[in-house]
A and B are shown apart, each in its own frame.
Chain A
Amino acid sequence: MRREESHSVVAISGDWIARNGCVDTIDAAVTQIMAQAAEGTEIAFDVAALGRWDSGLIAMLWQLRTAAAGKRAVLQTAALPAAALRLLALLQDCPPQTTVPAVLTGLSTRLGQRALATWTELLAVCALLGDSILHAFGAMRGGSRMQGGDLVDCLRDAGGSALPIVAIVNFLVGGILAFVGAVQLRRFGADVFVANLVGIALVREMAAVMTAIVMAGRTGGAYAAHIATMQGNEEIDALRATGIPVQDYLILPRVLALTATMPLLYLYGCAIGLLGGMTVAIGMLAITPTAYFEQTRAAVSASQFVFGFSKSIAFGALVALAGCHIGLRAGRSASDVGNSATRAVVVGIVGVIALDAVFAICANALDF
């Protein structure tokens, strides 16, 4: 590939097709040429035996030019194909890579920054909550720019189309509670109290929590992904630039829809869950449907329903707000959409369970 004379002549031969691997040898070739070339020498080329070439050849010449410049050698490029020279002219010599020095931070600094970031995030969620409430009042007074059609669409997405999955989950949860309860209570001959167990557990806790978890995975994630994709397409920017309040147009219909449908789904989930419990109990124990029903009615007071119902409203608002907020804060790449959907589901589920714990503590303190 190279030959020495008074001034160096580099003979380039054969095919130089990048994808066939000629690039692998470039570093070695350039090093060898430069090792043999004297300081300040002229390097000419002999391309008589050059075959087909593409960017592989250009890459080699580029590297050679950079190396030669470092040694103050001069390239006599006249013999090279005109096409290659034209491409070479496009290339600047490799500038030294400018890198930003990484700033090292201590553990305490990072911890502090993380804490501050979390605090800011919490404040932002509170602001969004307050904002949504204000806009909701605005909507009630008719001063909102929310589109009625959007609200109907959101209600359908968050309500009717969620019925099957809510039904399946609650039916199975009711059944499982009855099954576990039946196995234990049968040992004391307290078979009929299975109805109390299933009724109270479902109405107070499980139906509300399970429905909220299903909706966090189903609808909260969808809200985040939808809004994050809009963010990536600059649709949110377009809304803001047009002066359409993102609150009214995007967030309010979603929050209202989920806040409205969650308690209804809870009631529906309770009914299906009790049915599931009754099915299992009747199958396993010697209880008639009437006895089970009467027992449930005696055990579950209306206040239990009120408790579960109000929890559901809070869960619905939480899941919707988390989804919308996380979607709005997403970055602009495709993976940011995935990340925000994941975060919305995680925050939604954890939030629902944490909030449920708060409700439990409050209810205990208030003797509810």
Chain B
Amino acid sequence: MAAKSDPAMLEVAGLTLAFGEHVIQHDVSFDVKRGSIFAIMGGSGCGKSTLLKSLIGLLRPVAGTVRVLGEDYWAASGVRRADLGRGFGVLFQSGALWSSLTVAENVALPMRMFTSLDEASIDLLVRLKLAMVGLDADGGRMPAELSGGMRKRAGLARALALDPEVLFFDEPSAGLDPVTSRRMDNLILDLREGFGATIIIVSHELASLFAIADDGIFLDAGTRTPIAHGAPSVLRDTCGTPVVRAFMHRGASGEARHSGTNDDARN
């Protein structure tokens, strides 16, 4: 790893994302400090999840760099990228559990693949991770038997399997009831405090963003570029940009309805 004094965990500079000719976002730049909770915000269809994909190695950006602890992620070889990726934990929007494995096997698989632990140890760690997300009694069930919220928590337990340094959450509280959503927020805070993990959240759930995020970026669907940087609560109180204000106040100011969302369904 680079021996800088305090390198940002993740540095994104001049990133342009596109599907073919269709540019999703351009000139995206931000740093994520180690141990912080960073929010990627914006209306539906603005390219939040696409940006996330380029950070976790699923979509190569057209231009710009992503540096992980000072190392250029996309310039690295595929093998090196996989190595770096092992330090990432990703919670996908719907959990993305492997449907033919039980919940416990889902959590165990990364450990079986990338560590030389024996079965008893893996079993203990799997129970630990499942207990952390409150699913200790459900390890033997199949993903299809779980509710949406449970699937998300099981996905989180799997993301924690290898004790990642960076955790990515794609809409962690979308589709959850307010109480469960609140519990997810607390869990995210606990994981940050407990493991010292750096956390990047893609979300448009305002309540949870205000409660947990330290820093963030706001992607605009109209201009296809970030238009505000800062903690969500600070943006809510001080940002003068109409689009951001409208978003942060649930459209109450009603000034910028035209560019709040985009026509395409990607988010």
- From residue A241, how far is it (CB to closest CB) to chain B in Å? 17
Q: A19-B163, A59-B125, A91-B128 are in contact. Are A332 and B195 (CB under 8 A)?
A: no
Cβ of A62 within 8 Å of any chain B Cβ, yes or no, is: yes
Per the CB 8 Å criterion, the residue count for chain A at the interface is: 34
- From residue A200, how far is it (CB to closest CB) to chain B in Å? 48
Q: A91-B128, A92-B136, A334-B99 are in contact. Are A19 and B193 (CB under 8 A)?
A: no
Q: A19-B162, A334-B98 are in contact. Are A83 and B137 (CB under 8 A)?
A: no
CB neighbours (8 Å) of B150 from chain A are none
Which of A22-30, A109-117, A129-137 faces chain B?
A22-30
Decide if the interface of chain B is mainly helix, strand, loop or mixed. Answer: helix
- From residue B260, how far is it (CB to closest CB) to chain A in Å? 28
- Alpha-carbon distance A83/B196, docked complex (angstroms): 8
- Alpha-carbon distance A84/B142, docked complex (angstroms): 30
Q: A23-B117, A54-B195, A94-B136 are in contact. Are A331 and B144 (CB under 8 A)?
A: yes
- Which residue of chain A has the shortest Cβ distance to B131 in the bound complex? A91
CB neighbours (8 Å) of A55 from chain B are 125, 128-129, 160, 163, 195
| Contact B144 A24, beta carbon cutoff 8 Å | no
CB neighbours (8 Å) of A21 from chain B are 116-117, 121
The residue among A26, A54, A334 with the most chain B CB atoms within 10 A of its own CB is A54
CB neighbours (8 Å) of A87 from chain B are 132, 190-191, 194-195
| Contact B124 A92, beta carbon cutoff 8 Å | no
- Alpha-carbon distance A92/B121, docked complex (angstroms): 19
Cβ of A162 within 8 Å of any chain B Cβ, yes or no, is: no
| Contact A83 B195, beta carbon cutoff 8 Å | yes
Partner among B137, B191, B193 whose Cβ is within 8 Å of the Cβ of A95: B137
Partner among B114, B116, B124, B163 whose Cβ is within 8 Å of the Cβ of A63: B124
CB neighbours (8 Å) of A232 from chain B are 99
| Contact A23 B190, beta carbon cutoff 8 Å | no
CB neighbours (8 Å) of B163 from chain A are 17-19, 54-55
- From residue B82, how far is it (CB to closest CB) to chain A in Å? 16
- Closest 8 pairs between A and B when the two form their complex, measured CB to CB: A333-B99, A87-B194, A335-B100, A23-B121, A54-B163, A19-B115, A332-B144, A333-B100
Given contacts A90-B132, A91-B131, 15 further A-B contacts (CB under 8 A): A18-B117, A19-B114, A19-B115, A26-B124, A27-B120, A56-B125, A59-B124, A63-B124, A86-B193, A94-B136, A95-B136, A232-B99, A332-B99, A333-B142, A336-B99
Q: 12 A-B residue contacts at CB 8 Å?
A: A18-B117, A19-B117, A24-B117, A56-B125, A59-B125, A83-B195, A86-B193, A87-B191, A92-B131, A232-B99, A334-B100, A336-B100
Point out residues on A near B: beta carbons under 8 Å.
17-19, 21, 23-24, 26-27, 54-56, 58-59, 62-63, 82-84, 86-87, 89-92, 94-95, 98, 232, 331-336
Point out residues on B near A: beta carbons under 8 Å.
98-100, 111, 114-118, 120-121, 124-125, 127-129, 131-132, 134, 136-137, 142-144, 160, 162-163, 187, 190-191, 193-196
